[in-house]
Amino acid sequence: MSQCCGKPPVEPKPTDPCKPPEPAVCGGSPAAAGAAECPLTYFRRMIPNCLAYAKAARQQGRPIVGIMCEYAPRELIMAAGGVPVCLCGGANETIPAAEEILPSTLCPLIKSTFGYHVLKSNPFLEMADLVVAETTCDGKKKMFELMAESRPTYTLELPQKENDADARAHWAAEIRKFKRELEIRFGRPITHEALRKAIAVMNRERRLRRELAALMKASPPPLTGRELLDFKSSISGIPEDYEQYEKALRMLREKRPCPSLASRVRVLLTGVPLVHGAERVLDIIEGHGGLVVCQENCTGLKPILEDVELNGGDPLDALAEKYYRIPCSVHTANERRMESLRNLAREYQAQCVLELIWQACLTYDIESHRVKRLAEQELGLPYLRIETDYSPSDSARIAVRVEALCETVRQR
Amino acid sequence: MVCAGIDAGSRAIKVALMDSKGGKMLGSGVADQGVEQEALARRLFEDVLARAGIARNRVSRIVATGYGRNNVGFADTTITEITCHAVGVRHLVPDAMTIIEIGGQDSKLIRLNSRGAVQDFAMNDRCAAGTGCFLEMVARRLGISLSDLGQLAARSTKAAAISSMCAVFAETEIVGLLASGTAPEDIVAGVMTAVASRVAAMAGRTILPPVVFTGGVALIPRMAEALASVLKHPVSLSPEPQLTGAVGAAILASRK
């Protein structure tokens, strides 16, 4: 079941700590004995869990608010009594329906999401009382215009200039406008107290996920990159998730690391996010000699490295500050991403940098040139760029590149 | 001790036997790739052994490479064609720093460091432009054999502009050029320039000489010249261009 220590020709011995009957995170831990359920097993049911949570919330009259970008301040949605749900599509199957309307030369994430919209097949989108239309890129911005023809959407304009007082002020104004929109639409004021509470909840979520990610700093770590990714939930603020995070942290800290993971090449994965259903490239990396020890992207550490710092100030301004600092490629010149990559490569002892680009993701694609330079010239690490979409047609060819990258690292 | 390298490519299977001490090639062979990949590889391997007069039990280790490497069940291990071509070319051309390899279904640009290890690499494999099967299509369209492409191109006085980067659209473009009376030699010369441009795009601006050209497409005359003129660098042909992957695999087999 676990990918940990997975060399297919070798039959696992019953006592092999790397081949427990349960997922790797549950094995070799005394705490696991007699425990009701392994946290990873729980998170493997993430979609049904989220669906049950969203349905129950809706019955209690709580609005469901769809988001597609880590810039959307979930705290405001929660303070408005709503449930923030990630709508990013990770399915190849919905893309043909999207391409009847959208250009085929658009990133698969946008097309997949829009395909769900056309087919009405994403239950979270169908439940959504509002979709936040973040202007993360031109593709999303224009796609949301079409979605807005049949669904309630609200445009949230992202800042573009880094370290710029006017851009920062405009972003703060956008957050205040979004707050008013939520208050009017859902008919209840967002109090500072509710906002502070929501900030505390989201800070806790970020801290828990950060601590789980930090376990990958160990060599070898107690889990694989894929297992870590599976700890991501589409809905934020589910209390049961937090209990499972804490349980996972306790178990993983006691667990003996898998010795076979020690021979894997430590990969810093950067670039576009691997949303639920689109984990293929990560699986290829970990199936061909690599171990993704760190994800510098929106499904990894990028949005959770920093918390909302309240310090008794205006919570809206604290929100604006936190989200303004996310190093997204929509930013120019996005120096903060380079700084983050420098730090993460060091902290996680990366042996190479692998950048994933969804086809037609212009901003990450162009920025990849700088990441390559940073990796090769400044960090002295081999760099590999993989450009693909959600179709599995090039899996074998991606595997060759990953294997060659691992061979290159080992030859050094 | 004898070591073997088997390069199971998309169009051809290549086998090289190397003396693991002196690094001397003891035997080699090339066969067309087909459906029964494992059986074809085994037959070629046994054939090469027989011709070299080497008993099977004298082969201490076998490394398989190429896109079909995982289908060579009798190999001891697999290593990617990127690493194998680097080792193979460096063995045959010890001062090589940049390798261009064009095979049936992809093209690669490999940069080496001063020790001959892979520094970085780029591959074009999402479309057929810039690969051997693109040239096969052109030869088929013009009704000539792949090996005659070079001779024909040599007669060109004005290479045709082939702008399509997609093999399917390029075929349409070629049909159009033929219809408008463009000479076949100018079309071939244009196609070779297009393939070379595709490779140059992978190289970016940093080409460290000496540049060595290898892979099955290197057997086609005039391709090296087309590459040199686009890259604005001298491009030398690797000895045994079709075999460098297998040679590298055999050398790597002897190292472990």
Q: What is the pLDDT of residues A57-66, one digit of tens each?
A: 999 999 999 9
Confidence (pLDDT) at A54: 98
More confident residue, A359 or B124: A359
The model's confidence at residue A51, banded by pLDDT at 50, 70 and 90, is very high
CA distance B116 to B105: 25
Q: Token digits for B182? A: 């463009």
Please give the C-alpha separations between residue A340 and each of A269, A306, A335, B224, in angstroms, as whole numbers: 12, 11, 9, 43
Helix (H) or strand (E) holding B101: strand B98-102
Considering only CA atoms, which of A147, A131, A155, A152 is closest in space to residue A67?
Answer: A131
**B67, B117, B123: residue with CB nearest A401:** B123
Q: Looking at the predicted structure, is the pLDDT value of residue A16 above 80?
A: no
Over residues A38-43, mean pLDDT: 94
Distance from CA of A283 to the nearest CA of B (A): 18
Of the candidates A185, A353, A196, which has an alpha carbon nearest to the alpha carbon of residue A266? Answer: A353
Chain B touched by A391 (CB under 8 Å): no
More confident of the two residues A1 and A283: A283
With residues binned 3-state (H G I as helix, E B as strand, rest as coil), the percentages for chain A, rounded to 5, are: 50, 10, 40
Chosen from A357, A391, A407 to mutate, greatest number of chain B CBs within 10 A: A407
> What's the confidence (pLDDT) of residue A18?
43
The answer to whether the Cα torsion of A346, A348, A352, A358 is positive or negative is negative
Q: Which of A94-98, A114-118, A222-226, A257-261 has the lowest mean pLDDT?
A: A257-261
The pLDDT of residue A8: 38
Q: Name the nearest CA neighbour of A215 among A348, A304, A307, A305.
A: A348
Interacting residues of B47 by C-beta distance below 8 A, sequence separation 6+: B29, B31
Beta bridge partners of B124: B107
Decide if pLDDT at A103 tops 80: yes
User: Which candidate from A387, A397, A411 shows the least CB-CB separation from B118?
Assistant: A411
User: How far apart are the CA of B159 and the nearest CA of chain A, in angstroms?
Assistant: 31
Domain boundaries, chain B: 1-80+243-256, 94-238
Determine the residue among B70, B120, B126, B208 to mutate to test chain A binding: the one whose Cβ has the most chain A Cβ atoms within 10 Å: B120
Determine the pLDDT at residue A25. Answer: 57
Q: Where are the alpha helices (DSSP H) in A80-191?
A: 95-99, 108-119, 123-127, 138-147, 165-186
Q: Which two tokens stand for residue B256?
A: 């472990």
The answer on pLDDT for A22 being more than 60 is: no
N- to C-terminal Cα distance for chain A?
33
Q: Checking phi first, is residue A294 left (phi over 0); if not, alpha (psi -120 to 50) or beta? A: beta
Fold adopted by B1-80+243-256 = Nucleotidyltransferase; domain 5 (3.30.420)
CB atoms within 10 A of CB A59: 8
Centroid of chain to Cα A316 = 24
pLDDT-based confidence at A24, cuts 50/70/90? low
pLDDT greater than 80 at residue A310: yes
Angle at B160 between CA B157 and CA B162, to 5 degrees: 155
pLDDT at A3 over 70: no
Contacts of A401 in chain B (CB under 8 A): 82, 121, 123
Query: A286 φ, ψ to 5°?
Result: -80, -15
CB atoms A407 and B125 under 8 Å: no
pLDDT over threshold 90, residue A353: yes
Structure tokens at A163: 């370290």
**Structure token digits, residue B164:** 């399509």
In this prediction, residue B122 carries a pLDDT of 92
pLDDT at A256: 86
* CA distances to A111, A241, A401, B243 from A272, in Å: 15, 25, 18, 38
Smallest Cβ–Cβ distance between B117 and the set A376, A403, A411 belongs to A411
Token pair of A181 as six digits: 């929109």
| pLDDT (mean) for A171-176 | 98
B80, B123, B125: residue with CB nearest A407: B80
User: Which pLDDT score, from 0 to 100, does residue A257 have?
Assistant: 83
A394 min Cα distance to partner chain B (Å) = 7
User: What is the total residue count of chain A?
Assistant: 412
Q: Are B110 and B80 in contact (CB under 8 A)?
A: no
What does the pLDDT average to over A353-369? Answer: 97
pLDDT of residue A211: 98
Among A204, A155, A180, A170, which residue's Cα sits nearest to residue A80?
A: A180
Task: Quickly state the pLDDT bin for A312 (edges 50, 70, 90).
Answer: confident
* Angle, in degrees to the nearest 10, between helices A315-324 and A165-186: 120
Residue A14 has pLDDT above 70, yes or no: no
Q: Which residue has the tokens 């491009």?
A: B235
Least confident of A13-22, A38-47, A73-82, A252-261: A13-22
d(CA A354, CA A336): 18
Cis check: omega of the bond before A303, within 30 degrees of 0: no
What DSSP character marks residue A235? B
Predicted-complex ipTM score = 0.90
| Partners of residue A400 in chain B, C-beta under 8 Å | 67, 80-82, 123
Distance from CA of A299 to the nearest CA of B (A): 26
Q: In whole angstroms, give the CA distance from residue A412 to residue B97.
A: 16
More confident residue, B161 or A212: A212
Where is pLDDT greater, at B232 or A4?
A: B232
* Residue type (1 letter), A196: R
B249 within 8 A of B5, measured Cβ to Cβ = yes
- Which residue is listed with tokens 């001779």? B151
Percentage of residues of chain A with pLDDT beyond 90: 88
Q: What pLDDT score does A36 carry?
A: 63
Task: Write out residues in chain B with pLDDT < 50, as ranges.
Answer: none
User: pLDDT tens-digit profile of A230-247?
Assistant: 999 999 999 999 999 999
pLDDT recorded at residue A271 = 98
Q: What's the predicted TM-score (pTM) here?
A: 0.92
Interface contact A397, partner B, CB < 8 A: yes
Instruction: List the CATH code of the domain at B94-238.
Output: 3.30.420.40
SS3 of residue A111 by DSSP: helix
Q: Which of A133, A156, A137, A157 is nearest to A146 (CA)?
A: A133
Whether residue B211 contacts residue B100, with contact meaning beta carbons closer than 8 Å, is answered with yes
Beta bridge partners of B31: B13
